[in-house]
Amino acid sequence: MSDHQHFETAPEDKISLSKKLIYGLGAFVNNILAAAIGGMVIVLNLGLGMNPALVGLLSALPRLTDAITDPLMGYISDQTKTKWGRRRPYIFCGAIAVGVIYALMWQLPLGQSENFYFWFFLTGSFIFYLAYTVFATPWVALGYELTPDYHERTRLMAVQNSMGYVAYLISPWFLWFMQSDVLFDDLVDGASWLAIIIGATVIVIGVIPAIFLKERFNKTNTDERVEAASKVNLAQLNKVEEFPTGIKGFFRGFVITLKFKPFLSLCGATFLVFNGFMLVSSFQIYVIIYYVFEGSQSLGAEYSGWAGTLSAASTFFVIFFVSWLSTKIGKKKAFYVATVVSIVGYGLKWVCYHPDYPLLTLVPAPFMAFGLGALFTLMGSMIADVCDMDELETGERREGMFGSIYWWVVKLGMAVALAAGGFLLNITGFDVALGGAQTAETIHLMRLFDVVIPMVASAIAIWMVYTYPITEQKAHEIREELEKRRQTA
C-alpha cells in the first residue's frame, strides 16, 4: 500500500461544526488572556510609574514556573478519573478561577510604593498563571482526543486556531479603551474595569467546552495496560510491570515524552518557526521606521499597523487553505509548502521594504502569514497523531503531558526571542538618540537580521519535520492496531 494513499473520514469520526466551534471557544479564552496580560502590563509603567525594568521582570518571572506546572498539570489531567472525564472538571473550574483571579489582580490600590505594586502584582501573577494552567493544559489535551481521524484532527485545529486568532484582532484596542477620558478617571481605573470585563468573558465562554464536549478516553492506566498487554498475550498480564503513579509516575511520563523522537521533531520545528518570527518581530518595526521612513515614527507606526492588519486577515485564509491542502497531500507536505511560502515572504522584505516605494511594505505580509498560520494548525493535529503512536508503543495515553510540554516550548521560544531580540538590536549599533540618522551599517544589519534569521530558522524547521515519521498511511495503520487491541481487551 502506498504511503500516499488517502483515507476518507468516516461519518462517525467527524466532529460537527458546532462542536468544533465550542472547542474553539477555548482557544479564544486562551489567547485573550495571553494578549491581555501582555498588553495591559504597560499600565504598571504608564499608569503607576513603575520602572520598566521591574515591569519586564514581572512579565518574565512568573513564566519560569511553567516548566514545572504545565507538565505536572498535564500528568494530573492524564491520570484523573471522574464520571465527568479526565479533562472537563479542570477546564470548568480553571475557567472560573482564572477569570476571577485576573479581574482581582488588576484592582490596584492607588497611592502605594513601587515596591508594593511589584510584590502585589508578582504574587497575583503567580496565582493567575497557575489557574491559567489548570484551564489551558486540559483544554489542549482534550482537542487531541476528540477524534481519531487523521484529517478531521486538522479540520478541528483549523477551526480552533481561527477562533483563537479573533482575540488578537480585539486586543490591540485594549490600550485605547483603558485610556478613554470619557469612560474612566485614569489609565489604572480603565485597567480595573477592562480586567473585570475580560474576567467575566473568560468565565462565561471558558466553561462552555467543559459542559458541551465529551471525552473519548476516561480510563485508568490499568485499563490501558490491559489493552497494551493484549497485543502480546492476555495470559501474560500478570507478568506486566505495574506502571508507577504519583511523583515517580510523573517523572517517568515526563522522561518518556521528552525521549519520543517524533514529538521532539515537532517541538524543534515549532521552536524554530515561532522563535524565528518572534525574534525579528521588533526588527520589522525598526526597519520600517528608520529605513523605509527615515525615522518618522508616525508614518512607520501607520504602515506597520496596516501590515499587521493585512497579515491578520491573511492568516484566516491560510488556516483553512492549509487545512484543505493537508487533506490532499498530507500534513508534512502541507507544512513544507506553507513554510516555503513564508520564507519567500521574509525574502521579499529585502526588496519591498524600500524608501522610494512605501506601499510595497504591505506585499510580504500575506506571504509571511503562512508561517504561523500553518504552524499551529498542523502541529496540533500532528501531536494528536503522536499521542496514538505513543500509546501503541507504551500502552498509555498522555495527551496532557504532550500538550503541556509542547506549549511550554512555545512559551520558551517567546521568552528567548524577546531576550535575544534586544541583544541583536544592540549588535546593530542602533542608537535611539540618533533618530533617523542611524549609520548605514546599522541599517544594513537591521535589514539583514530581519530577513535572514527567520528564513534560516524556517529552513531548518523543514528539515526537522522531514524526519517526522507519521504519514497518513502510518497513522491509519496505528489506528487499526489500537482499535484491534481495544476490541481484544
Give residue-wise pLDDT tens across range 442-481.
889 988 998 999 999 999 999 999 989 999 999 999 999 9
DSSP E strands, 111-206 = none
- Distance from C-alpha of 274 to C-alpha of 364, rounded to nearest angstrom: 17
Q: Is 488 helix (H, G, I), strand (E, B) or coil?
A: helix
CA angle 263, 131, 137 (to 5 degrees): 20
For 456, how many CA atoms within 13 A lie in the half-sphere containing its CB? 8
Cα distance between residue 449 and residue 292, in whole Å = 16
Q: How far is CA 445 from the centre of its chain?
A: 30
Q: Is the pTM of this model over 0.85?
A: no
pLDDT tens-digit readout, 427-448? 888 877 787 788 889 889 988 9
Give 20-31 pLDDT, tens digit per residue: 999 999 999 999
Number of H helices, E strands in the chain: 20, 0
Task: Spell 272-298 as b/e; 16+ CB within 10 A means b.
Answer: bbbbbbbbbebbbbbbbbbbbbeebee
Is 332 within 8 Å of 471 (Cβ atoms)? yes
pLDDT along the chain (489 residues), means of 10: 68 93 96 84 80 76 82 91 92 97 92 89 92 95 93 94 86 79 86 94 97 76 43 40 70 87 94 84 78 82 77 88 93 96 95 91 92 92 94 89 89 72 79 80 90 94 94 92 79
Which alpha helices (DSSP H) does 259-398 contain, by range?
A: 261-279, 281-287, 297-329, 331-352, 364-394
